[in-house]
Structure 1
Amino acid sequence: MPTKRKIDSILKVNGTDIVDANGHKVVLKGAGLGGHLNMENFITGFSGHEHEHRAALLSVLGPQKYKFFFDKFLEYFFTSSDAKFFASLGVNCIRVPFNYRHFEDDMNPGVYKEEGFQLLDRIVNICSEQNLYVILDLHAVPGGQNQDWHSDSGSSKAMFWNFKEFQDRMVNLWVALAKHYRGNAFIAGYNPLNEPADPDHVNLINFYYRVEKAIREVDPDHVLFIDGNTYAMDFSQFPAEPFPNTVYACHDYSMMGFPTGDPYLGTSAQKKKLRESFERKVAFMRKQKVPIWNGEFGPVYASATDDANFQQTNSQRFALLQEQLSIYQESDISWSIWLYKDIGYQGMVYVSPSSPYMQLIAPFLEKKKALDLDFWGCSDSKVAHIYAPFLTALKEMVPKHLRDKIYPNVWTFERQVERRVRECLLSEYMGWEMAELFRGKTEEELDELAGSFKFENCVLRDELNGILQTDARFGDELGAES
């Protein structure tokens, strides 16, 4: 494998390429550090939204033990051991999703908490020691930029687009971040907003104009990574003139990699569908001749506990992943797979089932899965009979021609209902049930629970990592030729 070039200059955009100061093309390949500075229910096991999960644990543990547990969790989740392993695969970039709540409180907006910068600095410093790039990804904003759990709004509405105050705060936060990281060559760039979903489209475009201008005033050098609308899949309303020094980002999940989708059998029709779906998402980039970054993609994986044929299922999903990577290779597409570490759904690394944390929450996970509270990686097979008559009755109340009026209208009526009932309301109740599992824990026990996320205590998903390593090797060989 060719030796990686030492990171010593800020990246920039040159036509359809990302290049370093010497003009060498850099294809960014890596993973998202989801579940860390922006927690998600399926990644670490709680139900509902992060701020609800934290509030429930605070109530059960009290302030001192609550702080102790989360300090240890954040410390152990990503360490130098993780970065060394990551770099050993030949991948070169970690996308770091973060929640605005680490930087400011809603009751004290605009007053920045130093610990937020310290948390990011720690990751950047660890990555720099392993010659890894970092992309800073604002994953959750006040009011929520989309309707899903990972924007941590607590509701099914993206209220970020309705309040200028929310948008002002996030522009100002990016100014503070850009000031902090200007000149840092290990920062590949800034991803101002993950998966925005603006029903009117124009609010998002206006926000991008504002945040681009504000960032450039304090840091004219770093690349911006701009997500498309409607969960990074729609660029139809974007201005024809692209922003300077900007990479445009799509997300390219395939339902064939999830339990609710058709299995991937590698047919010519399925391969055609994968390619057409990707090309539809990147048509804007192709036309405008700007770089493409696939900021998220990847299947979830089955286990023996939930699928008697899990090995066959996973073989199909690995084949799907390889087909997607082959499509990206054709145009030297930069990518960031979702995700690096979790409790077993999707991670390159996952928490051991025998760990103290997994042993503690195992009964809750089983119940949560049976109730289908997480959209990610679950099915409603055990509760469909409960919801079917309820949904039938609701559909009779709503005229058929109005059932697609609620944005995103690509979601079915059934999806809109389960989002509100199961993933918001019922999940919030269940979050308190999970929190009760932590009641009475000593700091020593809490340290052991958080320590379950240490790299040394985790399991490697070898076949997935081998696929990524092979693709990264292709990128290194390409870089050596450029």
Structure 2
Amino acid sequence: MVVPAPKACLRVQGTDIVDADGARVILKGCATGGHTNMENFITGYSGHETEMRAAMLEVLGRDKYEFFFDKFLEYFFTTADAKFLASLGINCVRIPINYRHFIDDLNPSVIKPDGFKLVDRIVNACAAEGLYTILDMHTFPGGQNQGWHSDSGIHKALFWDFKDFQDRMINLWVEIGKHYRGNTWVAGYNPMNEPGDPDHVNLQAFYRRAEKAIREVDPEHILFLDGNTYAMDFSAFKEVLPNCVYAIHDYATMGFPAGEPYVGTPEQKETLQKSYERKVEFMKAHSVPIWNGEFGPVYASQEDLDHETINRQRYALLGQQLTIYKADKISWSIWLYKDIGFQGMVHAAPSSAYVRLLKPFLDKKKRLGLDKWGRDDRHVAHIYAPVIQHFKDEIPAQFLNRRYPQQWKVEGHIHRVLRETLFSEILCWEYASYFEGKTWEELDELAASFKLENCARRDELNDILRADAGVRK
């Protein structure tokens, strides 16, 4: 049975998102991260998606390369996934997109129709189960931020320095607006994931330009606008654009290995509340809706010591964050739905062909702490400590932490260049070597590791989300 489409697009009314009848809609969802935008910790490669794909193409050859990735994209999100999410009471799915599905950098003026076919399949599968979708542009030419997930392969955000890059993405958003105009199952567009604008003014100029261009072809859909510096800073924002929701990302350090354990003390709860309140100050001051586009802890694996205690603490942390959001009646999207066992609501099973094949590489990558997301440095801290100290000894103190984002400090920038970029990109060839000589049948089985029926479910996490939605198990 197909769920009837909403009568009109969702829209902003004061501090609320409302439907055609003016009734408040609170979007509660998750992101299909690792699917239409692959990330290293989510599917296990090292470095950046573009480098990984190039290494895989070299190993597999064009035909097998296209077969494997087509199957991966097919299996990762199907109607079964949409049905499962609907069963939890989730009502919205955020779709992170790598712009390269739509634009070839060597032919940037042509929008590839295959990108729409890919995203349409997800939008339609979700709509059939009564789920809204938010289209999130997760990568940009040159990189809109300094992180691995912008898939730039570098440590600078060059997008802000080249009008040509900006023109390409405005053109892409216009075509997306044309394509999804009138589709009432699309809750809206998230024009840029986690911007990192060092000057704090280019982002707002881009938003004004994007809002104007999109509205000319699609006047109805909501825009979900991330704050600067990875959706955490609105201090330089000066205006509110019409029919826009403003978006934070609200990760808590207590949900990661480097953070203190969350035991629910009044002081820890106050820390969570203050962090949230700082991020949403702009929205509350201007009486506009809030969307938390990403949050959620990482989880210890069964191989980790005391993993049950660690995970109980992190589930409790998640529950406290949901309590904060419920008090303010904000919309949210947890990061993330599916991976290889690090953070997902479901994950490729340890017994799956993909995880079994890559187990030695995954163990090595974990030991080296190559992925920034949730890594544990205990095995390699002694290697990088002298390098960090060398920088501190030689750079005058007033310049040491001038590089944006300043929050990373010099340590973060060293790790970004040495580990997450150089070391990781070289290891892409090792990752790809595991696929060498695989038959068509073996490649299909590897991709099928991400089918929902072949995945393990993180029941404790899903139960928390189900309870928040008011759905009985």
Q: Which range, TM-score by smaller chain?
A: over 0.9
Aligned-pair distance for 1:395? 1.7
Q: TM (normalized to structure 1)?
A: 0.96
The residue that corresponds to 1:304 in the other structure is 302
Distance 1:170 1:428 in 2: 26
Letter in 2 for 1:26: V
Aligned residue for 1:226? Answer: 225
Alpha-carbon distance in structure 2 between the residues aligned to 1:377 and 1:451: 26
The structure 2 residue matched to 1:343, chosen from 326, 331, 340, is 340
Describe the superposition over 1:434-453 as per-residue Cα deviations: whole angstroms up to 9, x where unpaired: 10000001111000000000
Return the alpha-carbon distance in structure 1 between the equivalents of residues 62 and 87 of structure 2.
Answer: 39
- Please give the alpha-carbon distance, in whole angstroms, between the structure 2 residues aligned to 1:171 and 1:363: 42
Q: 1:390, 1:244 → 2: CA distance?
A: 48
State how far apart, in whole Å, the 2-side matches of 1:207 and 1:313 are.
41
**In 2, distance between residues paired with 1:413 and 1:94?**
36
Normalised by the length of structure 2, the TM-score is 0.98
The answer as to whether partners of 1:258 and 1:377 remain within 8 angstroms in 2 is yes
Is 2:347 the counterpart of 1:328?
Answer: no
State yes or no: 1:40 paired with 2:39.
Answer: yes
Matches within 5 A, 1:335-414: 335-414=332-411
Q: What residue number does 2:25 align with? A: 26
Which one of the candidate residues 401, 425, 428 is aligned to 1:428? 425
Amino acid at match of 2:341: G
> How many residue pairs were aligned?
470
- Amino acid of the residue matched to residue 251 of structure 1? H
Q: After TM superposition, give the deviation of residue 394 of structure 1 in Å.
A: 2.2
Partners of 1:229 and 1:419 in 2: how far apart?
19
Deviations 1:130-149 (A, max 9, x none): 01000000000100000000
For 2:353 and 2:339, the matched residues in 1 are separated by 15
Partner SS, residue 121 of structure 2: helix
1:273 and 2:276 are equivalent in the alignment:
no
Which position in structure 2 is the counterpart of 1:416?
413
SS of residue in 2 equivalent to 1:294: strand
| Partner residue, 1:480 | none
* Partners of 1:198 and 1:204 within 8 A in 2: yes
Contact kept, 8 Å, 1:229 with 1:235, in 2: the verdict is yes
Quick one: which of 235, 255, 258 aligns to 1:257?
A: 255
What is the DSSP-based 3-state SS (H/G/I as helix, E as strand, rest coil) of the residue aligned with 1:188? Answer: strand
Mapped contact 2:36–2:98 kept (Cα < 8 A): yes
Specify the alignment match of 2:286 in structure 1.
Answer: 288
How far, CA to CA, are the matches of 2:285 and 2:470 in structure 1?
Answer: 29
Whether the 8 Å contact between 2:5 and 2:185 is mirrored in structure 1 is no
* RMSD of aligned Cα (Å): 1.1
C-alpha deviation, 1:5, in angstroms: 8.9
Indicate conservation of the 8 Å contact 1:135/1:190, yes or no: yes
Note if 1:107 corresponds to 2:76. no
| Aligned mates of 2:6, 2:348 — CA distance in 1 | 31
In structure 2, what is the Cα distance between the partners aligned to 1:389 and 1:339?
A: 35
Distance 1:5 1:367 in 2: 49
Give the equivalent residue in structure 1 for 2:79.
Answer: 80
Query: In the TM superposition, what is the alpha-carbon distance from 1:377 to its structure 2 partner?
Result: 1.8
For the 8 Å contact 1:7–1:131, the answer to whether it is kept is no
Q: Which amino acid aligns with 1:321?
A: L
Unaligned runs of 5+ in 2: none
Tell me the CA shift for residue 388 of structure 1. Answer: 1.4
Partner of 2:240: 242
* SS of 2:110 mapped into structure 1: coil
Partners of 1:83 and 1:386 in 2: how far apart?
A: 45
Distance 1:257 1:197, change over 3 A: same
Unpaired stretches in structure 1, ≥5 consecutive residues: 477-482
Give the aligned residue type for 1:109: P
Counterpart of 2:213 in structure 1: which amino acid?
A
Give the AA of the match of 2:211.
Answer: E
Tell me the CA shift for residue 469 of structure 1.
Answer: 0.7
In structure 1, what is the equivalent of residue 445 of structure 2? 448
Name the amino acid aligned to 1:246.
C
Aligned-partner residue type, residue 376 of structure 2: S
Paired-residue identity, %: 63
Give 2:149's aligned residue: 150
| 1:6 CA drift (Å) | 6.0
Cα deviation per residue 1:254-278 (whole Å; 9 max; x = unaligned)? Answer: 0000001000010000000000000
Aligned-partner SS, 1:263: coil
- Residue by residue, what CA displacement relative to the aligned partner does 1:109-139 show, whole Å, maximum 9, x if unpaired? 1201110010011001101110100000000
State the distance in 2 between where 1:59 and 1:373 align.
Answer: 23
Q: Quick check: 2:5–2:184 contact (8 Å CA) kept in 1?
A: no
